[in-house]
Amino acid sequence: MPQNRIGERTILFPHAPGILAAAAVVGPKEGKGPFGQAFDLVIDDPMYGQESYEQAEHAIYREACQRCCQKAGIETRDVQALLGGDLLNQIMAASLAARELEVPFLGLYGACSTMSESLILGAILTDGGYASPVICAAGSHFCTAERQYRFPLEYGGQRSLAAQWTVTGTGACLLSGEAETAMAHITGATIGQVVDMGINDASNMGAAMAPAAANTLLRHFQDTGRTPEDYDKIITGDLGQVGSDLLRELLKESGITLTKEKHLDCGLEIFDPKDDIHAGGSGCGCSASVLASHLLPRIHKGEWQRILFMATGALLSPTTSQQGETIPGVAHAVVIEGGK
């Protein structure tokens, strides 16, 4: 039996599967943010020509997957698996996109940690020779998330300062075991456990996710013997301002210094700070679209050699919130490196 592990929770990928291409399709508000020019497509209208926001979310999802294949020069029908999910009940955006893509489909749900989860499972499939190429994707939509988790869009409720703004967009990566022309390579991963410190404010998901992010990071450093200095950037998904501050504080208590310069939170970067988004962006399309449009190209250009990409998820549902349940968090870390 092979033993592709180090420490208690960390996986190694001896063949370092490659990310052949990545694509992001986002909404108009995201298009006005600092990565506006880097996205593959910025749609004008959150309905994207569909009859409902949910249908728009699935069409954006499909479009990102198709563009990703096109950029890699791969026919969609040659994809051996789509691994992905979204935030809708029963991950309907990914499921409906998979119906139209007609490729084998493995549905995932990790809330906003879904992009990391899909990269880990995609890397395992391609590294082990079980399937290649595979699409890893995650998406969200402000209008569907808002009305599903919070209030009707027309209600216009006051938003708390700790609240985050769900990203409208999907990011997709094409992973392959044959990785000679890859933009970047996946060399390791730490699967996170569910951590719950008792936060029950559904408007403060940064606080709910930060302890899980700290847990996964600490275990990753323990397992690998690495420190933040071994990475050009430690990237979190969508902790936002509240969660990012908490993460650095929790790490400090455990003797790890994560400077603001070393840390990049996708939720803090995706929107124009002048926009009224409060604590930052969120949604599993947030880290997925920043990965595709900003992080991977910087590795590809050689500006960064090695990053730790850790999308973070708050595992709540409207039902559990209404029943007074607290909000567990989860975070998975993926080591992404430049040319082998």
Residues interacting with a second copy, by CB under 8 A?
1-5, 9, 11, 15, 51-52, 54-55, 80-81, 85, 87-92, 95-96, 98-99, 102-111, 117, 120-121, 124-125, 127-132, 148, 177-178, 191-196, 315-320, 323, 325, 328, 330
Q: How far is the CB of 207 from a second copy (least distance, A)?
A: 16
Q: How far is the CB of 31 from a second copy (least distance, A)?
A: 26
Choice between 88 and 268, CB closer to a second copy: 88
Write down the least CB distance from residue 304 to a second copy, Å.
Answer: 25
Pairing of strands 18-26, 184-190: antiparallel
- Residue with Cβ nearer a second copy (264 or 336): 336
Closest separation between CB of residue 121 and a second copy, Å? Answer: 6
Instruction: Supply the minimum distance, in Å, between the C-beta of residue 68 and a second copy.
Output: 18
**Angle at the Cα of 24 from the Cα atoms of 147 and 270, rounded to 5 degrees:** 65
Identify which of residues 108 and 213 has a Cβ nearer to a second copy in the complex: 108
Calpha distance 282→267 (Å, rounded): 6
- For 36, residues 6+ apart whose C-beta sits below 8 A from its C-beta are 30, 42
Nearer to a second copy, 95 or 222 (CB): 95
In this complex, which beta carbon is closest to a second copy, that of residue 107 or of residue 297?
Answer: 107
Please give, one letter per residue, the 3-state secondary structure of 265-326: EHHHHCCCCCCCCCCCEECHHHHHHHHHHHHHHHHHCCCCCEEEEEEEEECCCHHHHHCCCC
**Least distance in angstroms from the C-beta of 206 to a second copy:** 18
List the beta bridge partners of residue 84: 107, 137
Nearer to a second copy, 250 or 314 (CB): 314
In the complex, least distance from residue 260 CB atom to a second copy, rounded to whole angstroms: 29
**Backbone torsions φ then ψ of 67, nearest 5 degrees:** -65, -35
Per DSSP, the three-state class of 97 is helix
Spatial separation of the C-alpha atoms in residues 204 and 189, rounded to whole Å:
27
Between CA 205 and CA 203 the distance in angstroms is 6
Nearest to a second copy of 29, 62 (CB atom)? 62
Decide if 177 contacts 71 (C-beta within 8 A).
no
